[in-house]
Structure 1
Amino acid sequence: MTPGRGTPVRVGVFGLLGSGNLGNDGSLEAVLGHLRTEHPEAVVDALCGGPEVVTARYRIPATRLHWYRGEYRTASRAGAIAAKGLGKLVDAVRTAAWVRRHDVVIVPGMGVLEATLPLRPWGFPYALFLLCASGRLFGTRVALVGVGAAPIGSRPTRVLVRWSARLAAYRSYRDALSRDAMRAMGVDTARDEVYPDLAFALPTPTTPPVAAPSDTPGTVCVGVMDFHGGNDDRARAEEIHRRYLDGTTRFVRVLVEDGRPVRLLTGDEVDASVVAAIMEAVDSPLVTASQAASLAELMEETAAADTVVATRYHNLVCALKVGTPTLALSYAAKSDALMEQMGLGAYCHPAREVDADRLIEQFRELEKRSAELRQTLAERNLAANRRLDHQFTALTTILLPTTDHTHANRETP
């Protein structure tokens, strides 16, 4: 894995990493684990949302994704608007200079080709386009590895996403729906593969959970989310959030009335407000909040539970990976696809229309089939591991330079 002239290959990782989203960071961790095991000589650094966190946690140099630190805050004053506009120009230069120093840049997982959560075209979609365009300009291979994609209603966002995908040297997806979405946007996906989510490549907790006494009700992990709908739901965002919160709170209350301990999980720092609202509304010592700060810790939480009911995509991944029967409060087609892949397609419930009575019915049916579903998950996890081994073999092929990448030896402009 060494380019011409004996220089170690330079690998960049790119994305909203270190910004508080555990799923994004878990995807990065999976790719770094592969690089450190199979290609320890590679020189790795990041262009990301939270460089201080990435450097401290993963021990790699990191640069801030955006020059303007208020990029994801709403700009209302003239000064902030001007700074954002200037930032777009500065970021074009900064991104190009960073890309030029690498042989390959990996975008590890994440829903970078979708708009299932609110975003503006000139935020991350623009940043991704700058990355892929710079890669094409300087001959740096940009690899979109195990990413998520979905139909996009906003035309500016759709155009940026489509061109980002077209300019990338390599693409793979975490489900068939993602590949279909990109094909529908006009991207040639004939050579693109589908693999399980990268988080399935993370180590499974090795310490078995301590079993509760047979007469003690088992814990139910409930993964919550600061959910306001998708990018096309901005006009109804508060209504959607209130309905989601009310339905989830009622579900937790019913569990507590049945004597079930409930452990509230999150997947992003922004979810803390939902945890606080549910705990205040239910007000029971049976309801506790997890402080998990990584997917590994989330897997430990879900492995110790009897059952998991969760909203965030990577809460679902963690629960399914450790083999715990899981019910999805699904906010996007990717959750439905994941549950179907793992043999639990019947246990999805719409996050936009949480019906606590129906949710309780599905939950009780899930628990009745617990032993059967654990066996199903064990089999599906073995298959996922085999597919991810194939993914990393393909990734290694991309990372082995076949020409003398002299740009990797240039000094920083």
Structure 2
Amino acid sequence: MTPVRVGVFGLLGSGNLGNDGSLEAVLGYLRAEHPEAVVDALCGGPEVVAARYGIPATRLHWYRGEYRTASRAGAIAAKGLGKLVDAFRTAAWVRRHDVVIVPGMGVLEATLPLRPWGFPYSLFLLCASGRLLRTRVALVGVGADAIGDRPTRALVRWSARLAAYRSYRDALSRDAMRAMGVDTARDEVYPDLAFALPTPPASAPSGPPDPPGPVCVGVMAFHGGNDDRARAEEIHRRYLDGVTRFVRALVADGRPVRLLTGDECDAPVVAAILDAVDSPLVTAAEAASLADLMTETAAADTVVATRYHNLVCALKAGTPTLALSYAAKSDALMDRMGLGAYRHPAREVDADRLLEQFRALEKRSAELRRILTERNQTTARQLEDQFTALTAALFPAPDHTHAHTHTYREAR
């Protein structure tokens, strides 16, 4: 039999640990359940993906300056030509595959600054090519949200409509696509794909009579959402000032603080906090993957984090967590894991109020760890169902659906 040809697509290998974690989860599923599949990627960072995951990878955009602002006529013309070339490149890549998987990520949302001719256009090219060339395109465990910008909304809506399979990482995402005119009657909701990654061993919580342990604070280059461009710098200054004052208060209490990031663009925020607080109690983690982030959060007494996948890592590690929430997806995640009461708005960080919430969280630490253990067990079962459904939808064969759950559980 000819091996099934599987492509993975997205802003992978581009410095965002959450995106790469979703890819890693899907590759784990494919290697466990479909080891015969021939897998390659069309992605943002092909060199990183090829080196880290051992699969061939092709650059997503023909024009290498795609994500640089084009101000000169030559750059504008090159970017415009790149859009045309990418239409043919994407179709040619899709044609070589039986199945293309878009692994997780917030590909149907615009909660962070986004231009319609950027990734939304690329996703539309993928899904349209799949429909025209009869290659099944699957949006697996993706995030979505209401989009105000009309061109972006149109591209996202048509991408979803043209996909052969859709599932979402929360009910909020499915509801948003339904509100944008997509028929979601056959679409399912499952936990974020990153919950399928291996969990590091948790360290025992310190608790009395030991001194309080470390706190992980996940930071972000947060400038608001797609509709906040006019006041992006004001939002960022307020966020940075609030988080810095919170870290300073933890240090005043003698707490070791470990700063976490989730994207390469977060590094200046870490540098600013280290410079402002200037204490040996504050250090920065150098995480290269979600596994590294989980290890960091598993070693902490408590986590306070902004980026969505920082929250995922902390919750999966079973560590009591407080969300600096910048989007409804963070709220939905905290509700799913039983910690919905512990949220604080990233747009309006009040260091004093945040410290109160932090102390209230720590008082319930033992109870919350038990809750997270139970929720993680449920989440694992739900992701087994996700992969069973994916096999049935994309790899129809009589033996696969029957054997999948047992095989994948043993592999994990």
* 2:125 alignment partner, one of 109, 124, 130: 130
Residue 401 (structure 1) shift: 4.9
Residue 210 (structure 1) shift: 9.0
Q: What's the counterpart of residue 281 of structure 1?
A: 276
Q: Could you tell me which runs of 5 or more consecutive residues in structure 1 were left unpaired when the two chains were aligned.
A: 1-5, 403-413
Alignment of 1:108-123 (within 5 A): 108-123=103-118
Check the 8 A contact 1:229/1:237 in 2, yes or no.
Answer: yes
Partner letter of residue 62 of structure 2? W
Aligned length, in residue pairs: 397
Residues of 1 paired with 2:377 and 2:65: CA distance?
43
Alignment of 1:355-370 (within 5 A): 355-370=350-365
2:228 counterpart SS class? helix
* 2:237 alignment partner, one of 221, 239, 242: 242
Alignment of 1:20-35 (within 5 A): 20-35=15-30
Cα deviation code 1:205-231 (max 9, x no counterpart): 137469699433210000000000000
2:163 equivalent to 1:168: yes
2:323 equivalent to 1:328: yes
Aligned-residue sequence identity (percent) comes to 86
Residue 397 (structure 1) shift: 1.1
* 163-172 or 198-207, which deviates more: 198-207
Cα deviation code 1:75-125 (max 9, x no counterpart): 000000000000000000000000011000000000000000001000000
Q: What's the counterpart of residue 347 of structure 2?
A: 352
Residues of 1 paired with 2:319 and 2:378: CA distance?
17
2:167 counterpart SS class? strand
2:30 equivalent to 1:63: no
Check the 8 A contact 2:21/2:194 in 1, yes or no.
Answer: yes
Residues of 2 paired with 1:210 and 1:257: CA distance?
21
Alignment of 1:216-255 (within 5 A): 216-255=211-250
* 1:42 alignment partner, one of 37, 41, 49: 37
* 1:149 alignment partner, one of 140, 144, 151: 144
Cα deviation code 1:126-158 (max 9, x no counterpart): 000000000000000000000000000100000
Residues of 2 paired with 1:210 and 1:341: CA distance?
23
Residues of 2 paired with 1:380 and 1:213: CA distance?
26
Q: What's the counterpart of residue 407 of structure 1?
A: none
2:394 equivalent to 1:385: no
Check the 8 A contact 1:219/1:261 in 2, yes or no.
Answer: yes
Describe the shift of the 1:213–1:344 C-alpha distance in structure 2 as closer, same or farther (beyond 3 A): closer
* 1:100 alignment partner, one of 83, 95, 103: 95
* 160-169 or 210-219, which deviates more: 210-219
Residues of 1 paired with 2:204 and 2:289: CA distance?
18
1:46 counterpart SS class? strand
* 1:271 alignment partner, one of 249, 253, 266: 266
Cα deviation code 1:57-89 (max 9, x no counterpart): 000000000000111111000000000000000
Check the 8 A contact 2:205/2:301 in 1, yes or no.
Answer: no
- TM-score of the superposition, structure 1-length normalised? 0.95
Residues of 2 paired with 1:234 and 1:351: CA distance?
16
2:227 counterpart SS class? helix
Partner letter of residue 296 of structure 1? A
Partner letter of residue 33 of structure 2? E
2:83 equivalent to 1:91: no
Residues of 1 paired with 2:117 and 2:3: CA distance?
34
2:284 equivalent to 1:293: no
Partner letter of residue 249 of structure 1? T
Residues of 2 paired with 1:325 and 1:207: CA distance?
12
Residues of 2 paired with 1:28 and 1:314: CA distance?
13
Residue 400 (structure 1) shift: 1.4
Residue 179 (structure 1) shift: 0.2
1:317 counterpart SS class? helix
Q: What's the counterpart of residue 393 of structure 2?
A: 398
* 2:176 alignment partner, one of 177, 181, 198: 181
Residues of 2 paired with 1:215 and 1:259: CA distance?
13
* 1:76 alignment partner, one of 66, 71, 75: 71
Check the 8 A contact 1:209/1:303 in 2, yes or no.
Answer: no
CA RMSD between the two structures = 1.2
Partner letter of residue 377 of structure 1? L
Q: What's the counterpart of residue 401 of structure 2?
A: none
- TM-score of the superposition, structure 2-length normalised? 0.95
Partner letter of residue 25 of structure 1? D
Partner letter of residue 299 of structure 2? A
Cα deviation code 1:172-214 (max 9, x no counterpart): 0000000000000000000000000000000001374696994
Q: Relative contact order: is structure 1 or structure 2 higher (C-alpha 8 Å, sep ≥ 6)? A: 1
Residues of 2 paired with 1:83 and 1:164: CA distance?
25
Partner letter of residue 317 of structure 2? V
Q: Could you tell me which runs of 5 or more consecutive residues in structure 2 were left unpaired when the two chains were aligned.
A: 398-412
2:376 equivalent to 1:376: no
